[in-house]
Amino acid sequence: MYEARQEKMVISDVKVRLVDNKDGRLKAFCSITIDKEFVVRDIKVIEGIGGYFVAMPSRKMCDHCEKCGGKNHLKAKFCNNCGASLQENRARRNVKSKMKLHADIAHPIKSECRTRIQDRVIEAFHKELDKSKVPGYKPVAIDESEDDIPKIIS
């Protein structure tokens, strides 16, 4: 039987890659390491009306063309595969009647977890922002190529 773990997760590492986008709301991409064992990439730092907030990694929602079955983003007007015209407003709407165009890949279940992640990421973002103002600044490399990831030998 599965026994629930009682201690809280520890965010053991945060990496921040600033985005050179002076006029846009997206300010950085981040990765976090949890308990030195699990990595979540493509967390975004967004500048909102009330300050910075964290957006979890997500993917675009898609559907299939009625004519050929080709996969298309919900905002697409024509099929990527056959070029057929697609119906408008194919996306489901959320509680506020806003079209749901993206789905989270990973997200916290409890608000305390979201707060812990957001606080650590925003803190690391501010530190990286300060570092970026120093001459000779070199951005942190977040994405690793497959060659950089150790192979497991069985």
Q: Would residue 146 count as lying in a domain?
A: no
Q: Are residues 38 and 94 in the same domain?
A: no
Are the CB atoms for 117 and 14 separated by under 8 Å? no
pTM of this structure? 0.71
The domain in which residue 124 lies consists of: 8-57+105-140
Q: Are residues 20 and 93 in the same domain?
A: no
Q: Would residue 148 count as lying in a domain?
A: no
Q: Are residues 53 and 26 in the same domain?
A: yes
Residues in Cβ contact with 12 at an 8 Å cutoff, skipping those fewer than 6 apart:
33, 34, 35, 36
Q: Would residue 3 count as lying in a domain?
A: no
The CATH number linked to 121 is 3.30.1120.40
User: Rounded CA gap, 15 and 30, in Å?
Assistant: 5
Closest to 99 in 3D by CA, of 88, 109, 108? 88
86-94's contacts with Cβ under 8 Å and 24+ in sequence apart are 90/63, 91/61
Q: Would residue 153 count as lying in a domain?
A: no
DSSP string, 2-54: -----SPP-EEEEEEEE---TTSSEEEEEEEEETTTEEEEEEEEEEETTEEEE
Which residue has 């409890």 as its token pair? 110
Q: Would residue 122 count as lying in a domain?
A: yes
Number of domains the chain is built from: 2
Q: Are residues 15 and 87 in the same domain?
A: no
Q: Are residues 109 and 96 in the same domain?
A: no
Q: Would residue 145 count as lying in a domain?
A: no
Are the CB atoms for 26 and 120 separated by under 8 Å? no
Q: Would residue 151 count as lying in a domain?
A: no
Q: Are residues 87 and 28 in the same domain?
A: no
Are the CB atoms for 32 and 39 separated by under 8 Å? yes
**pLDDT per residue rounded down to tens, the chain (154 residues):** 556 666 788 999 999 999 987 778 999 999 999 999 999 999 999 999 999 999 999 888 888 888 998 888 888 889 989 899 988 877 777 777 777 777 888 889 999 999 999 999 999 999 999 999 999 888 877 665 444 444 444 3
Q: Are residues 113 and 43 in the same domain?
A: yes
